[in-house]
Structure 1
């Protein structure tokens, strides 16, 4: 496959930035990162004065390509731990409704329409391109209940070279409309198995695309269906993704539908769906015992701040969850979230933490360093790729984005000549440039993106 084809060894020259811990960034002004023909980082050097010296002392890099960043820096690729590719056309349409009404009004009709291959091709191709343009090198995708178009999404991700966990959605209760649900528990199971088998057939080693078992959320599945999916996860070793405790009415609904369960978390735990490969989106309204259970099972959390605010679900207590030792990444949750950008989620995560700090929990604030960690290393741990991506160490794969800012010329920019949303005036340190990017940047600043050393996105004049 194209995703496994050798590449020419390349030296990435210039400033680079990555998280070394939850609270610390490494900021290297003059760096050189060597990536070998398999897309793996072979060396990392700092304070580089002459690239020819770097070439000469690193075996296999004498004739290497050189990609240099100016007016910017290299940063690890973003990891979106929760998004709905099938809802992309609805982005920005959340109306005046609650979560459950919003599903009926916007979500189910759109997802149902993607049984049509040509429409799914348009939607999924566009969304993968859009997420790549925002620097997302890995995404955990929800598709629909339809096997052929779920498989199509996996095909598109593999073809474009974006790492992805692709899930065929399971939903077999009357919470879902009759026109859009699994007709039986058996169908939910057999169709999920069919998608798992297909995705593993196109990428047997899971180097780019992997399957993920996807019960939509507890109210959309019977307890028997959830248990069947838990058994399927154990049998296949596949990842699992679902929603949990997104808003208070949903928590009340779960309690009424599963009266013998101790909690929302217990519904999943009883079904065998809480594992170290489980991604739980939202987790806004968890009790103390639920947090303890999630931690004990090794399940992970996807924090989706833009969506939680847009649908008025609540402010997730991320600081408290981190303090409890939970593993957390960021998710765009399109189309509950209004943007496919993880950089936007970084900002929103900061705002949500400050809303909490202003209202009751003074120690809730998240720093710039912390949200960038969640967007990269945190997300890598959520999707089970922490040993492969998320930072710039020897042995990790080169999943990266080139960020270029807008140097302001003397006299100011001519009318209509702005490039990107971040102006720099020459006095800013690298740390200050990163801060400006986090608070003001957008996809115009992401001029190139690589996955496993392969260029998967670029803008016009860069790397032509």
Structure 2
């Protein structure tokens, strides 16, 4: 069934500009594709007459309309999170990265070889991220093939777009949780890729992603093997971590002298480049402590960065210089990085990105500050480019697909109560709209105060995948 969406629409026009459409309409066909965008088209009745009564689209048309305090916004894209770590959100103690992995992360991930436990964890993280408006997520699973494949199955059933990666690691991890050999890791990766391609041959909803955990946990032969696999399968993305923590960077230098990989640049990025893993399909999480040469190398290879401000702060990794990366031509998106990060919300990541940029600015780089418009771009259009879906999602344009969320803000009445769309119940979250705010101010309030209570409905490819009751 075709669908007609009418009312207010907001989306990123460019890095620093939002497009605001009011009394507008978007027509979505039964495949989930946007076939028409009508700006300033007048009343809903006029739109219905044009598209429905005159039968300009075949079959029945379902009409959706915003009311006061509501607008349609593109779905959020989480460019980096560990589905297998979701039960640990908020649990990181006083650890820094390497201690945290051994204390909290590896035991939990290994336990998800139990399919009952894995289904419970994955089912919850998918539902939770959808409830926060995440229509696409780049997931790390575990080293277990069956567990990874289960995550792909559940994403496909729920209708959430996902990059699903079997984690590769053959060193610097507990003996109970690692690939036995590089050859075994590659064979298991191929097995999981084949399964995901089988359940979604067109890769419309789920896609496999080549996933070396990070350089210290992968031997040079394994990384080079994964680089060859990436060259063999040029439609598949790659995801890994880079320069998250200073001790980790020192460890990479110790483990991978240039002679071990043939790297032209003695750096973390140089290791990935030498192994064939630094490409225009590569998603690099964190990038907190990159050197000038590394950033230039990443830009030249057109690799992308997932900025994870929540986890970078929570486990004291540092403050990534996003403005610096953008000015070097590096495409950036946002990641929640659960469970280093404590929240499944990309909106939370957006506001933390704004706050972290202000800390960078207080260190002497005034231009580092990111605006509301910029962090929303990273959460949607920038994220779409990071995961290779920029032609499909991230904005409301003809030919793209309807990945969207209906946002509802609380309308304060004359008595100080909230009426809005909840019939007087205080269920519209922390965002209070008094009636005199501009649309720009309302969006800023949402970014800094909003939560999942404001996410009323979520669609992926035109399919309703979440509705707040």
For normalisation by structure 1, the TM-score amounts to: 0.96
* Cross-structure match for 2:228: 231
Looking at structure 1, the residues matched to 252 and 304 of structure 2 have their Cα atoms a distance apart, in angstroms, of: 20
1:128–1:157: 8 Å Cα contact kept in structure 2?
A: yes
Distance 1:184 1:211, change over 3 A: same
Please, which runs of 5 or more residues in structure 1 have no aligned partner? 1-7
Please, which runs of 5 or more residues in structure 2 have no aligned partner? 419-423
Deviates more, 1:314-323 or 1:49-58: 49-58
* Cross-structure match for 1:252: 250
Q: Does 1:114 align with 2:123?
A: no
> How far 1:418 moved relative to its partner?
4.0
* Cross-structure match for 1:220: 217
> How far 1:68 moved relative to its partner?
0.9
* Cross-structure match for 2:180: 183
- Aligned pair count reads 452
* Cross-structure match for 1:163: 161
1:332–1:340: 8 Å Cα contact kept in structure 2?
A: yes
* Cross-structure match for 1:4: none
2:23–2:43: 8 Å Cα contact kept in structure 1?
A: no
Question: In the alignment, which of 39, 50, 58 is matched to residue 57 of structure 1?
Answer: 50
Cα RMSD, aligned residues only: 1.3
Looking at structure 2, the residues matched to 251 and 144 of structure 1 have their Cα atoms a distance apart, in angstroms, of: 23
Q: Does 1:432 align with 2:430?
A: no
Looking at structure 2, the residues matched to 209 and 137 of structure 1 have their Cα atoms a distance apart, in angstroms, of: 12
> How far 1:452 moved relative to its partner?
0.4
For normalisation by structure 2, the TM-score amounts to: 0.95
* Cross-structure match for 1:148: 146
Looking at structure 2, the residues matched to 72 and 378 of structure 1 have their Cα atoms a distance apart, in angstroms, of: 24
Q: Does 1:73 align with 2:71?
A: yes
* Cross-structure match for 2:463: 454
Deviates more, 1:416-425 or 1:163-172: 416-425
Looking at structure 2, the residues matched to 416 and 441 of structure 1 have their Cα atoms a distance apart, in angstroms, of: 17
* Cross-structure match for 2:6: 13
2:408–2:428: 8 Å Cα contact kept in structure 1?
A: no
Question: In the alignment, which of 42, 59, 78 is matched to residue 35 of structure 2?
Answer: 42
Question: In the alignment, which of 358, 369, 375 is matched to residue 365 of structure 1?
Answer: 369
* Cross-structure match for 1:378: 382
Looking at structure 2, the residues matched to 55 and 425 of structure 1 have their Cα atoms a distance apart, in angstroms, of: 31
Q: Does 1:279 align with 2:283?
A: yes
Question: In the alignment, which of 206, 223, 242 is matched to residue 203 of structure 2?
Answer: 206
> How far 1:62 moved relative to its partner?
8.2
2:304–2:330: 8 Å Cα contact kept in structure 1?
A: yes
Give runs of aligned pairs for residues 25-40 of structure 1, distance below 5 A. 25-40=18-33
Question: Secondary structure at the residue paired with 1:314?
Answer: coil
